[in-house]
Structure 1
């Protein structure tokens, strides 16, 4: 049975800053001779086409129009709705005399078709669909006054909201809310996908993200190097090709998981099982003697070793291909001792949880590890606060990588990856809020270690592993996001990794 590909999987993987998209727009106009008015007409038609496809029964749309190009796009939408016999209402913010060039022309076309324009006065919106054509990609200061009231009015009503290019109030580069921002049901982005739709608060405000290149030639994109990469499992799954028929377990990597202090054995167990389900040939968990005897009772494929001190790790390291350290490690002398015994190994490392806290206390740099902090751990690594990390997640992941080396993975909505190559940072567009649950990060640690053990370099493994983990989370969330547990993600890994549908 064929399965419909989600719209997000049809999106480009190249992301751009706002200034870059404006530069692409200029190239299309000045080099390729496409009139700006033509691009605006195409944008408005694309928005209207989306509206008719998604909400064919909408008869009373309201278009909130600003005084820039977004407003011009909105006037094209309003004219098309009017021509289609819909009862469209346009509410204008800003002085109409400030409309320029193409936007002024589309306003005139709408009025010539018999359309009326009303000023927005702060009233509640009564519509069965709202088009947000207020603010574009140039927003650099907090939204205030009547503009803020308009956005609040959009968010207060229940009709679906279509954002033109980017939800008004959302910063195009950082994804931060500039005072207040529209919560869109769908966003249609033009020419180049804005990175702010996928970082910061973007994932919570963009809704269903769509893209239209407005028919500009592919050669236009050679003028700008993408600022970020959007990654997903549809793309990254190619990193795990079918195994050769002659494969044996030694070819598939021996993962050593170090962690599981008393009371936290579940974290190491989750990481170990995730590594197996992601294709590791062998997994050994080095854990506290208190629970070593029974940790694998219901998963006998896991090997378990009781370790008292770092010296006990030596023979385990000699047999492993990669070490994951941190799940349930704790901050006692036992955990710190194991960290110090592991941190100097020649093997590639995946570093998570309390191993990251130990690293923050005694910084070091190396090139063959993956660091996987959540915002709180990232704050400790950089000596700042979680709020500061979240205010510019992209800057944070870059700083972590520069300071500690290797590949940095900043977990959260839109997990970010920064390696030490010349490739732009990556952001994962798979995943869902149900994955915000205890143990989810431990599962990711096991996935990453398994992929490194199967021969991927740390940066490639980070991108593929984050995408695999997120896609498994999406599969697990088919039964609902609320109540999803980390074990559900583990259970979904095998089917997703092999790109088959499993029940």
Structure 2
């Protein structure tokens, strides 16, 4: 069974591979820490975690590549052998061609009388240590290397990846042809942003980190590429309410949603907004189901609308808008899109609102766009694979074309506003949230944050983190069968600080 990344106590700063390599160079050349010493530290930390995570190991296989990642593996092999664990080292590539610090560690292994075997078959083992490829991978894995990775993934033993799972692109989270599917991964010096988005969470499993005692001054040489965010970090932006507060203090949100046949999306977005603290929530929806949408939630004000003039009257009284959940691609949805486009209120656009925007592109600075990869591909006029292969670039391109704040949903949701601020990456959430209506809940939460006066980027980050944390709480009873509506009671709990996020 897959485990979700373990992210407690991890740094919030994320970096690209070239930045981490630069930290490594600075530590060696400017702070006089020998490369072999850093490799020894990395192997030692990996071995310590391995022993803590799997304390009953009797035999392991360490699969080494030709670079420094392989050198780390040789250190793990030596320490495990000295502790009485049976160890086999399988080498991919010609061991006679090893160089530098990796050669030093390989010689330390063979000096103890241990052989280096060419990679052929894994055989029986309790654990496989992946020390094949590091963070510098820029082309697809092929040939013997791909065959080895595929054999490792088929083996029943758990896999422990050193620094990053082999075959995973450190910057984008893209699988480069094939990649190790690890049970746990230990990352060194700087966390790589690709471990937390794209296919990174699938490949990495539980994530732990060690800075290898690098001096803090080393990190001042680089600006972080991405910042990891979560509810624990962002919840301090939710302030206690004054005793004399009234509903007008917390904004009036208008949700424009729900063409004929899609009332559920409209209801989920509107109720999520109300649970997220908006003072008033009005739902403008198709007349066919307006009469029943608030039967179970009478606090929502529901209006069936048929034309632009009716919508304009409602928008005149609102502080912010949500457009798109269940909007549809028919005449009614087009009318709603046209009406909302004529107002300058802060706006969250989701679902079919984004599809209408793709058809009729324009730019605004006071909106928040919340596409999933399919909607992002339509906004960019490309296929979904291109979006998923580099989610960071996709966020940047959408923001440059359309302005405002962009929230690219998915595992490792990304948030960018085109400013000098690094892209934000939410590391909370779980696969149970991949269900119909989850995005509608998110749009309602973000809309409520805007209505309550949070600026665009802050509202998006708050909304994404609250949504993900609520999903994690709802998943305590299991991810399979989790419904979008299960998040609603958890939103209130988290906003009031009654329980910690998980």
How high is the TM-score relative to the length of structure 1?
0.96
Question: SS of 2:333's equivalent?
Answer: helix
Residue of structure 2 in register with 1:451 after alignment = 449
**1:163 pairs with 2:151:** no
The change in CA–CA distance for 1:114 and 1:245 in structure 2 (over 3 A counts) is: farther
Aligned-partner Cα distance in 2 for 1:438–1:7:
26
Q: Is the 8 A contact 2:173 2:389 kept in 1?
A: no
1:310 to 286, 308, 311: 308
Q: What's the CA shift string for 1:191-250, capped at 9, x where partnerless? A: 011111112211110100111100111111110111111111111212213223332211
Q: What's the CA shift string for 1:376-418, capped at 9, x where partnerless? A: 1111111112222222221111111000000011111111111
Residue of structure 2 in register with 1:486 after alignment = 484
Pairing of 1:259-408 with structure 2 (within 5 A) = 259-408=257-406
Q: What's the CA shift string for 1:414-445, capped at 9, x where partnerless? A: 11111132111112111111111000010000
Aligned-partner Cα distance in 2 for 1:195–1:460:
21
Q: Is the 8 A contact 1:271 1:444 kept in 2?
A: yes
Aligned-partner Cα distance in 1 for 2:315–2:77:
66
Alpha-carbon shift at residue 468 of structure 1 (Å): 0.8
Alpha-carbon shift at residue 502 of structure 1 (Å): 8.8
1:439 to 427, 434, 437: 437
Q: Is the 8 A contact 2:129 2:160 kept in 1?
A: yes
Alpha-carbon shift at residue 70 of structure 1 (Å): 0.6
Question: SS of 1:8's equivalent?
Answer: coil
Residue of structure 2 in register with 1:30 after alignment = 29
Pairing of 1:163-182 with structure 2 (within 5 A) = 163-182=161-180
Q: Return 177-186 or 385-394, whichever deviates more.
A: 385-394
Gaps of at least 5 residues in structure 2 are none
**1:113 pairs with 2:102:** no
Alpha-carbon shift at residue 15 of structure 1 (Å): 1.0
Aligned-partner Cα distance in 2 for 1:492–1:247:
23
Residue of structure 1 in register with 2:145 after alignment = 147
The change in CA–CA distance for 1:363 and 1:178 in structure 2 (over 3 A counts) is: same
Q: Is the 8 A contact 1:166 1:197 kept in 2?
A: yes
Q: Is the 8 A contact 2:396 2:418 kept in 1?
A: no
Question: SS of 2:255's equivalent?
Answer: strand
Q: Is the 8 A contact 1:79 1:115 kept in 2?
A: no
Aligned-partner Cα distance in 2 for 1:389–1:308:
36
**1:48 pairs with 2:47:** yes
Question: SS of 2:208's equivalent?
Answer: strand
**1:460 pairs with 2:458:** yes
User: Pairwise CA RMSD of aligned residues?
Assistant: 1.4
Alpha-carbon shift at residue 108 of structure 1 (Å): 1.5
Aligned-partner Cα distance in 1 for 2:475–2:460:
22
Question: SS of 1:125's equivalent?
Answer: coil
Q: Is the 8 A contact 1:142 1:179 kept in 2?
A: yes
2:255 to 249, 257, 260: 257
Q: Is the 8 A contact 1:418 1:426 kept in 2?
A: yes
Q: Return 123-132 or 207-216, whichever deviates more.
A: 123-132
Q: Is the 8 A contact 2:323 2:337 kept in 1?
A: yes
Residue of structure 1 in register with 2:101 after alignment = 102
Alpha-carbon shift at residue 364 of structure 1 (Å): 0.8
Alpha-carbon shift at residue 104 of structure 1 (Å): 1.2
Residue of structure 1 in register with 2:227 after alignment = 229
Residue of structure 1 in register with 2:81 after alignment = 82
Alpha-carbon shift at residue 27 of structure 1 (Å): 0.8
Question: SS of 1:9's equivalent?
Answer: coil
Aligned-partner Cα distance in 1 for 2:202–2:224:
23
Q: Is the 8 A contact 1:432 1:474 kept in 2?
A: yes
The change in CA–CA distance for 1:403 and 1:62 in structure 2 (over 3 A counts) is: same
Aligned-partner Cα distance in 1 for 2:295–2:203:
44
Q: What's the CA shift string for 1:122-157, capped at 9, x where partnerless? A: x24321011100000111111112211211111011
Q: How many residues align?
A: 497
